[in-house]
Structure 1
């Protein structure tokens, strides 16, 4: 809890002194479940970019439902009473990962840490990890440019029909059919991550020349509808392996 409080305090201090990187209202209906109840429900949420990379949802105080209680607690140090810690509770369940703002840009808005609640929704669609950036898109393109993947001189995969996944502001990722991979070198990992654009990712470790490399490969068994093409395909970290595209080696 101390680490979380420290992080929230630092965020509050930054926003109180500098303001957000960007803020925009969103017409989406935003709801969130906590303890089996909807604790917030609003069509007046904001996308708030705390940093340049992706937004979070901030909601007006009025978004807190009658099933929940919002308590404004002590002022965050070094914010001149512009930001307070808060508590959201439903019955005996509560979270203190809450900030209540009274700054120029964020007046009467509440941030509840995304991971603190059980499930968020945009309209009726569950969202994971963080809200989608409305200015980001994903294109998944079929290609006949061959892709070869190596590590420490050993070929991990080679395909003449890869999928190129292009995501705004990120490097191209290459998703290869499972039949193009050298499975003798892969072992399942227990790791999981979530992407709001692609869904839940599972991982494989790679063992080459007697050395194991953790989580060098990921795949989506049940991707989101917008990324359905990559289902079952494997993607190797460009930054950690050697990749040739149409015979040209990429820089890591």
Structure 2
């Protein structure tokens, strides 16, 4: 639980990056039970990049939350203002829960997003966090030529693309699958979930005897807002060389940029 304690200490001492109330109906499903159903959820940005939903202790179903005895690591901490808690329903439980009692997060509960099933209104939320209300995803068709190289070998070249622009993130280029050298791709077992785009599957890239894991991803059934990227392939910019109309794309040191 060291990582959870570290997060609790940071937030109790420094407070969140920002927070705000939301009028959305937010519900949590755990072990087949609705453990909360609230109009009083709070967006909490633990850092600048995306928010979490925090739920008031009073909004939970009776007897599903239990405060845990302090661990020695927590007792030795110089920071107070939070408790470790446990969520129980039926025969299932998770201890990835924090209860805060600081002025900035008074009586708010943080549950690891992957520990329960979340709904915003009637939409099942995918991914490791809820959508940021200030983030926008825009998909635009583009005839600019995208060439992908790895180890000096061209692995794809397409002028029938969809460019995806997402607030605070670098552009991603979704290529026509007919313009990719499929013999260089091998299916990966990796699956990931994005709050804005849906469930992604991956391919590994094998060139000149070198393999790069999960270098390519695609969405079979993206969300409605990202529908134009369905079935298209996106090469992980940070793992390959990308040329736009023959000009090499600038290398980024942080995928969020």
TM-score (norm 2): 0.92
* SS of residue in 2 equivalent to 1:99: strand
- Alpha-carbon RMSD: 1.3
2:120 matches 1:125 = no
CA shift for structure 1 position 74:
3.0
Alignment check: 8 A CA contact 1:12 1:79 kept: no
Detail structure 1 runs of 4+ shifted over 4 Å in the superposition.
none
Name the residue aligned to 1:70.
65
Q: What is the rounded CA distance, in whole Å, between the counterparts of 2:197 and 2:213 in structure 1?
A: 21
CA shift for structure 1 position 80:
5.2
1:36 counterpart (15, 32, 39):
32
2:94 matches 1:95 = yes
Alignment of 1:1-252 (within 5 A): 5-66=1-62, 69-75=64-70, 76-77=74-75, 78=77, 81-117=80-116, 119-128=117-126, 129-252=128-251
Change (3 A) 1:174 1:89: same
The one-character-per-residue Cα deviations of 1:135-157 (angstroms, maximum 9, x if unpaired) are 11111011111111111111111
TM-score (norm 1): 0.94
Q: What is the rounded CA distance, in whole Å, between the counterparts of 1:182 and 1:33 in structure 2?
A: 43
Greater displacement, 55-64 / 92-101: 92-101
Q: What is the rounded CA distance, in whole Å, between the counterparts of 1:72 and 1:213 in structure 2?
A: 44
CA shift for structure 1 position 91:
2.3
Alignment check: 8 A CA contact 2:215 2:236 kept: yes
* SS of residue in 1 equivalent to 2:105: coil
The one-character-per-residue Cα deviations of 1:168-197 (angstroms, maximum 9, x if unpaired) are 111111000110101111110101111101
* SS of residue in 1 equivalent to 2:6: helix
CA shift for structure 1 position 88:
1.4
Tell me the matched-pair count. 246
Alignment check: 8 A CA contact 1:73 1:86 kept: yes
Q: What is the rounded CA distance, in whole Å, between the counterparts of 1:153 and 1:220 in structure 2?
A: 27
Which stretches in structure 1 are left out of the alignment for 5+ residues? none
